[in-house]
Amino acid sequence: MKFLTEAPRFLFFTGKGGVGKTSIACAAAVKLARAGKRVLLVSTDPASNVGQVFGLAIGNTVTAIPGVDGLWALEIDPEQAVQAYRERIIAPLRGTVPDTDLAAVAEQLSGSCTTEIASFNEFTMLLTDDTGGYDHVLFDTAPTGHTIRLLQLPGNWSQFLTGGGDATCLGPLSGLDKHKAVYAAAVTTLADPDRTRVILVARPSRSALAEVARTRTELAAIGMNNQYVVVNGVLPDTVQTTDPLAAAVHRRERAALAAMPDTVAVLPRDLIELKPANIVGIDALTTLFDPTSPSQATTTTASNAAVHATLAQLIDDIEDEGPCLIMCMGKGGVGKTTVAAAVAVALARRGHDVHLSTTDPAANLAETLGGSLEHLHLSRIDPAQAVEDYRARVMATKGATLDAAGRAALAEDLLSPCTDEVAVFQAFSHVIAESRRRFVVIDTAPTGHTLLLLDATGSYHRDIVRQLAPGLRFTTPLMRLQNPAATKVLLITLPETTPVLEALDLQTDLERAGIHPWAWIINNSLTAAAPSDPLLQRRANAELAPISQVTQRTQRYAVIPTLATEPAGIPALTALTDPMAALVVREPR
């Protein structure tokens, strides 16, 4: 593997969700450790599944990996990190201030911005602390958009602290000021090609490779230029061309690789072939970088009645119940954007007024749609634009009554990275409100970051409840999310072990917040596509257990088969929900 040749101390694995970052990071960690290196594998993804790959609980403490000498792993758990961060600030105050003041400080430290800085502090310490004695530290990061955010934070927080802003939502500024040197050192480390290498992971598809090109540019802008590309899950040349699906997918992948953006094509590149089974466990990890052995024996794809449940049937039920909020949620790379677009297109073609939006910084709905459609309005909750609008609004309202010094102080306070979370939440709330009168379909950011957004929604709800007089009627965004008549959450997953476990964990988290998923959608199923190629058949048969896990958990679900072509463009999206639709537009019921 080129990306492991003369590897520096820090390796960052990033890319679009679902491309296999975790598997590749874990396999790389095993390979380096078995070469005699001391290796720490760190997950910075709030929805980490490193523990699932190794088959053990890891969590927020450094854990030795059994069976691999010299390998340890750590999952930065946002909840544990924020508890420790909050306690460090509150503990010195106990017994020295009134309980009401202590409660006020605790409330200030309950927002999602506190979660961000707490997790971020652990991340920066790993970049600047040599006490562990590790030869290599590998970071398995969150999907692209949020990794960019994480890697930009050292500079953002360093600039904010240097400016002397008022970090009340993070506790006393003096408690953060001591971190300025650490943040500055982290910036230097990230930009040093002798210490840091970025591995851009993609699938052999046009959309994933286009995402890599965008990521390359954004990381180069913050000085991270030592970049390699790994294209994962490439269908080998040994597939049977007599299988129409295998032949079409092989042609599609080769065309995508040939047409990859020039900025990506010039980078050192590794191709990893598709394997017949999921990469779980140390034995499987050690074979990930090996060529895939051809499968000679033809097997029969096992049948499962569940694969005949269609997305069109779910849309019929959504339409019958009238305007609502439809949230597509799940792990990165499971097809949330595609499903959200397909649902929105189907409802718009039936004559309904539909607003399709996204909270995912890495999503590109315009590319997925590939055109416009009557009754369909498209938007994106752009964090940069949301922050700009929020700052302008605060300066025009709160700032209007202040003198010059007060306005200057307010403007400086609004430069805090915490402002981003508040701004995005407000934009999210405005979109939710539209669902009272029309269908609103939201393509959410990958799992962990969506939960942080919902946490902000819950914090806002608690503030409203506390401030309003008893008996006064009100409806907060959280209350609409908890109302099954107002909000339908679609859990999107793949027919694979890890994505299904991830979706089950997400369902548990949502139900704890009083939000109950309305339906599950299993995307990209080879079982439903019934291939004849031996390699694809083996992968299809491996889907049966994960599909059964879903169908045993819910009575409302749909299965979308693996497609010969990428589902991009309105005709292709229409075919996902109504293969016989052609150009027919249905009237609303």
Tell me how many domains the chain contains.
2
Q: Where a domain ends, among 287, 316, 337?
A: 287
Whether residues 486 and 365 share a domain: the answer is yes
Is residue 45 part of the annotated active site? The answer reads: yes
Residue (of 551, 563, 548) closest to 342 by Cα position: 563
Residue type, 588: P
- ∠ CA 75-80-85 to the nearest 5 degrees? 120
User: For residue 38, what pLDDT is reported?
Assistant: 94
CB 356 within 8 A of CB 441: yes
Domain hosting 335: range is: 307-383+431-577
| 426 is a domain residue | no
**Encoding tokens for residue 541?**
């048969």
Angle at CA of residue 71, ends 65 and 72, nearest 5°: 65
Active site residue: 14, 15, 16, 18, which one?
Answer: 18
Cα–Cα distance measured from residue 582 to residue 83, given in angstroms and rounded to the nearest whole number? 54
Sign of the CA dihedral running 5, 217, 44, 167: positive
- Could you tell me which of 559, 414, 15, 46 has the C-alpha nearest to residue 233? 15
Quick check: helix, strand or coil at residue 204? coil
Going by their DSSP bridges, the two strands 71-75 and 63-64 should be labelled as antiparallel
Residue 54 domain-assigned? yes
Residues 198 and 331 both lie in one domain: no
Q: Could you tell me the mean pLDDT of each successive run of 10 residues in the chain, 589 residues long? A: 93 82 93 95 76 82 91 81 74 78 66 60 71 84 51 47 44 50 72 89 88 86 88 88 88 92 94 88 90 65 71 93 90 85 94 88 74 88 74 83 82 63 70 88 66 51 46 55 87 87 82 86 91 90 90 90 86 79 38
Within-domain flag for 396: no
How far is it, in rounded angstroms, from Cα 14 to Cα 330?
A: 18
The answer on 318 and 274 residing in a single domain is no
> Does the active-site annotation cover 18?
yes
Q: Give the Cα separation of 28 and 42 in Å (integer).
A: 12
Asked whether residue 9 is domain-assigned, the answer is yes
d(C-alpha 154, C-alpha 167), whole Å: 16
First-to-last C-alpha distance (Å) of the chain: 57
126 and 165 belong to one structural domain: yes
Q: Is 360 a catalytic residue?
A: no
Structure tokens given for 427: 């934009």
In a domain, 280, yes or no: yes
Per the annotation, the verdict on 31 as an active-site residue is: no
- Cβ neighbours of residue 9 closer than 8 Å, sequence gap 6 or more: 134, 135, 136, 137, 195, 196
* Contact between residue 37 and residue 69 where contact means Cβ atoms under 8 Å apart: no
265 and 372 together in one domain? no
**C-alpha closest to that of 138 among 182, 74, 77, 86:** 74
Can you list the positions of beta strands (E) in 166-316? Answer: 196-202, 227-234, 269-273
* Candidate list 15, 20, 332, 333, residue with the active-site label: 20
Residue 164 annotated to the active site: no
DSSP 12: E
Q: Tokens 């707490």 — which residue?
A: 118
- Is residue 15 located within the same domain as residue 129? yes
- Among 192, 229, 191, 194, which Cα is nearest to 14's? 229
Domain assignment of residue 104, yes or no: yes
Question: Would you say 319 and 555 are in contact if contact means Cβ atoms under 8 Å apart?
Answer: no
Beta-strand (E) ranges in 44-145? 63-64, 71-75, 136-140
Choose, from 114, 416, 498, 577, the residue flagged as catalytic: 498
Report the DSSP beta bridge partners of residue 140. 13, 43
Helix/strand/coil (H/E/C) assignment for every residue in 368-390:
HHCCCCCCEEECCCCHHHHHHHH
Q: Can you give the pLDDT at residue 312?
A: 92
The DSSP result for 82-98, as a single string, is: HHHHHHHHHGGGTTTS-
Question: Which of the following is catalytic: 16, 17, 22, 44?
Answer: 22
User: Of 44, 45, 207, 333, which is the active-site residue?
Assistant: 45
What is the residue-wise DSSP string for 339-364?
HHHHHHHHHHHTT--EEEEE--TT--
Could you say which of 16, 17, 21, 171 is catalytic?
Answer: 21
What pLDDT sits at residue 147?
A: 46
Query: How far apart, in Å, are the Cα atoms of 555 and each of 389, 552, 577?
Result: 43, 8, 19
Amino acid making up residue 224: M
pLDDT at 559: 93
Same domain, 111 and 79: yes
Short-list 75, 82, 138, CA closest to 106: 82
Whether residues 280 and 372 share a domain: the answer is no
Q: Is the dihedral of CA 367, 370, 372, 374 positive or negative?
A: negative
Q: Establish whether 101 is a catalytic residue.
A: no
Nearest to 342 by CA among 332, 354, 331: 354
Do 65 and 191 reside in the same domain of the chain?
yes
Give the domain CATH number at 493. 3.40.50.300
As a dihedral over the C-alpha atoms of residue 443, residue 448, residue 454, residue 459, rounded to 10 degrees, the angle is -160
Count Cβ atoms within 10 A of the Cβ of residue 513 and give its class: 0-12 exposed, 13-18 middle, 19 or more buried: middle
**Statement to judge: residues 218 and 343 lie in one domain:** no
DSSP 305: G
Q: Verify whether residue 22 is a known catalytic residue.
A: yes
Residues 330 and 225 in one domain: no
**CA contacts within 13 A on the Cβ side of 526:** 26
**Catalytic: which of 14, 23, 124, 301?**
23
Both 198 and 322 in one domain: the answer is: no
